[in-house]
Each structure stands twice: as C-alpha cells, then as structure tokens.
Structure 1
Amino acid sequence: MKKSIEFKLENSLSQQCYEQLQQEIVQGILRPGEKLKVIPITQRFNIGQSPVREALSKLSAVGLVCMEENKGFSVAKISEQDIRDVYKVFTHIETTALSWSIKSGGEQWQADIVAELYKLSLVECSEQKVAHTLWAERNYHFHLALIAGCQSPLLLNIRHQIYMKFDRYCQMSYQLSQSSLHNNYECHKQLADAVLQRNIKEAKKLMAHHINAPREEIIKLFQQHKAF
C-alpha cells in the first residue's frame, strides 16, 4: 500500500511539474535554448529528481525540450523551418480531424460546439478588458469541440502533441485588443456555421485560413528577434 501511494504521489508531482514547465515554455517565460537544470527545478518545486526528470523527458517527447547526452536538458530552440513545418503539419491534422468530425459527429457534438462558441463570444464580444488566460482557455475548448466528433483517440492524441508546439508560436503574435477579438469572433462564428451545416469543403478552407493567418507575421517576428 505504501509503495502504491508514493507512486501515485510521484506521478502527480511529475504531472504538475510537466504542466508548469510546459506553460512557461509556451508563454516564452523560459527562453529558447535556456538550460533546464534538474537540481534547481527540484528546489523550486520542492520535489525529488525522479519526477523532474520524468517531466523533462515528457517535454522532450513533444518537442518543447531538447535532451543531449552529457549536456542535460534545455528549452527547444526556434527556427523558421520548424515554424513552417509545425503550421503545415498542424493544419493537415486539424482539417483532417474537422472533416472526420463533420462526417461522424452527432447531436451532442453539435450542442457542445454551440455551447463553447457562446462561452467564447462572452469574451470576444465583451467591451471589457479581457485576461489573455481566459481567452486562451475558451479559444482552446472551442477548437477542441469542433474536432471532438472525429471518433479517433489516436488522431486527437497526435493533435494534442503538435498543438503544444503550435501554441508556442501562436503566443508570439497574440494581440488582445478589442478589435482583434471581435474579428476573431467573426472568424469563429463563420467556422462554426460551416461545421454545423456539415459543409466540409468550406469548413476546411476556413480552418486552414484561420490557422495560417498569423504565420508570416510570426516568422517576421522571429527574423527580427532571433534571440527570443
């Protein structure tokens, strides 16, 4: 019984460490190329080396951390080639999952899209200043609702892993002025309408454009500030 409790606790600590480091990498708090030394992280989170190493290994598996023999762990660097590759792959996965969802999604899937769009509209159509974290959370759940009907756990798992790298680049260009939020809502509304009408061709076209709209701006930012 004692070993089981320790194992579950260690898994929980590892997951908490993983999620916190993931968030800090995606948000740019931990910079590309920055060393991730195990001992300082154990001291920061007040946990042992084993859960820290497990968390760093998981981050390495999804491409957010690099692990080099005799050099340890560091935050994955950014390159123009990787930005283009991530956008290309994510667009393909997202539009594929969307297409499958339109073909297979039922009434509950449709209801979830309507519900998530409404919750997102409360943020994107608000006249009040919006916290980025609130918008990001609702935007994520809306997009997840669109593809949740694909009936492929494997595809959704692959999508989740690619999304972490995709979101890292998205964070570089997020602007939460009211005008950009209102424009975002119009895009989201058009996308939801096409999906609910089961118009696969239009939905895939809108999704691809929505994903790739900021890509060149992100590449331009990278070229101007290669150290970030």
Structure 2
Amino acid sequence: MIYLDILSGELKPGQKLVVADLKAKYNVGASPIREALVQLSWSNYVNLEPQKGCWVAAVTVEELTDLYQSLRFVAAALLKQAIEHGDENWELQVLTSFHKLSRIKNVQETFDWSEWEERQHQFHVSLLEGATSKQMLNFFTDLINQIKRYRYFALANGSSSEMFNIDEYESIMKLVLSKETQKATEVFEHHLNRSMSHIQGAIEQAA
C-alpha cells in the first residue's frame, strides 16, 4: 500500500509519514504500518530517524548517479556470466520477457506506463538471471528496486514515450542470445546511460 503510493507519487519525496495518518488512510493497525515503514527503509524508499519521525526518501541527482554507476558495474559482470553460463531455460526466459514487453503498444494516448515499467523491469532481471554469482544478483536486485522509485518519479514528472525504445531492447536481446558478449555489454551500458539521462532530466525539471 505505502510502497505503491510512493511509486505512484501519491506520497511525494520528502513528505512526512505519520503513523496515525497512515492508519486512517489504509484502515489498518499501527503495527503493520510500522513494519511496512521499516521494510521500506531497507530499500531506501523512506527515511527513518529515531525520535524524529519518518519521511518519503528524497530523489536526488547525486543518489541517482551513484545507483547507476553501481548498476553499470555489477550488470556488466552479471551479463558476461549469464551469456557464458545461461542454459536453455534462461534463454527462454529472456525471449519470453522480451515478447511480453514488445506487446505493449507505444501510443502516447493509451500507453500503459506502469505496465511497461513492470515488464521492462522483468526484462532486465531475466537478462542477468543466468549468472552464477548469487551475491551479485542480490546486489543487482537491490539496486534496480531502488532505481525503480526513480523511474516511477520520472514517469510522473514529464518523461515522454522516448523512454520506450523497443528496438533497443530487441538489440540487447539478440546480442545476448547470440552470445556477442562485448557488443551486448556495450549496448546494455548505453541503454542504462540513456535511462539515467531521462530520469535526471525529470528530477531537474521538477526541482
């Protein structure tokens, strides 16, 4: 509940979260609210300060840059592992996730941004799930979950359909499945850089 309202922008960056208000809003007890806030603090969706309170975490260009720098580093290593060690089930997952993403029509008036966001999120996950390093995969999952909040912020603050480029996703998919490791990592890094630039523009526009 709180998680979805942060993603949607109903609860805005910097907004104070008061347990009593959240109880009334969601019609649940204080204990589930406090537990949810603690869990959200682990993924940096909210900031908890003892004796002071709780706020929706801010969005900043500095944090965005740090997140994407970390993501580029770990994603490159994981993608190489996935291409080298991924089996047929992994290849099928990559194909399936791309197919689901490609089914979304890029028509501005009817474009389902939230559905596209969830499907591209799963596509990114599927690309790297063939890797062998569970610790790096856990780190990657943590990073993209934090970045997800930034992507939704961008969608709510003026990002256009230019963020949707199915040809780019298709190129990544084909390079990965054809095991062109060097080219695949280069195109994937370019994809991440382009995504970060769009989000940074939204942050700066909203400031």
Sort the TM-score into its range (normalised by shorter chain). 0.7 to 0.9
Is residue 66 of structure 2 the alignment partner of residue 90 of structure 1?
A: no
Alignment match, 2:48: 67
Q: Which of 141, 149, 164 in structure 1 is aligned with 2:145?
A: 164
* C-alpha contact (below 8 Å) 1:26/1:165 kept by paired residues: no
Q: CA deviation at 1:125?
A: 6.2
Alignment match, 2:185: 204
Q: Which range is displaced more, 130-139 or 197-206?
A: 130-139
Pair member with larger Rg: 1
Flag the 1:128–1:66 CA change in 2: closer, same or farther, 3 A.
closer
Flag the 1:105–1:169 CA change in 2: closer, same or farther, 3 A.
same
Q: CA deviation at 1:217?
A: 3.9
* Cα deviation digits, residues 34-81 of structure 1 (max 9, x gap): 011112212222222222111111111111111112111101112221
Flag the 1:173–1:50 CA change in 2: closer, same or farther, 3 A.
closer
Which whole-Å CA distance do the structure 1 matches of 2:90 and 2:14 have between them?
Answer: 41
Alignment match, 2:117: 136
Q: CA deviation at 1:83?
A: 1.5
Alignment match, 1:149: 130
Q: Which range is displaced more, 190-199 or 133-142?
A: 133-142
Which whole-Å CA distance do the structure 1 matches of 2:87 and 2:106 have between them?
Answer: 28
Figure out how many residues of one structure are paired with residues of the other and give that number.
204
Alignment match, 2:203: 222
Q: Percent identity?
A: 27
Q: Please tell me the residue identity of whatever aligns with 2:60.
A: S
RMSD: 2.2
* C-alpha contact (below 8 Å) 1:130/1:176 kept by paired residues: no
Alignment match, 1:77: 58
Is residue 6 of structure 2 the alignment partner of residue 25 of structure 1?
A: yes
Which whole-Å CA distance do the structure 1 matches of 2:106 and 2:12 have between them?
Answer: 33
Q: CA deviation at 1:127?
A: 9.7
SS of the residue corresponding to residue 35 of structure 1 reads: coil
Unmatched 5+ stretches in structure 2: none
Q: CA deviation at 1:126?
A: 7.3
Which whole-Å CA distance do the structure 2 matches of 1:222 and 1:49 have between them?
Answer: 33
Is residue 89 of structure 2 the alignment partner of residue 105 of structure 1?
A: no
Q: CA deviation at 1:92?
A: 1.7
Flag the 1:220–1:136 CA change in 2: closer, same or farther, 3 A.
closer
Instruction: Name the TM-score, length of structure 2 as normaliser.
Output: 0.88
Unmatched 5+ stretches in structure 1: 1-19
Q: Please tell me the residue identity of whatever aligns with 1:39.
A: A
* Cα deviation digits, residues 174-228 of structure 1 (max 9, x gap): 4464x764xx1100010001100112211111111111113234334323422xx
Which whole-Å CA distance do the structure 2 matches of 1:144 and 1:123 have between them?
Answer: 18
Which whole-Å CA distance do the structure 2 matches of 1:197 and 1:186 have between them?
Answer: 16
Q: Please tell me the residue identity of whatever aligns with 1:185.
A: I
Q: Which range is displaced more, 141-150 or 188-197?
A: 141-150
Flag the 1:127–1:21 CA change in 2: closer, same or farther, 3 A.
closer
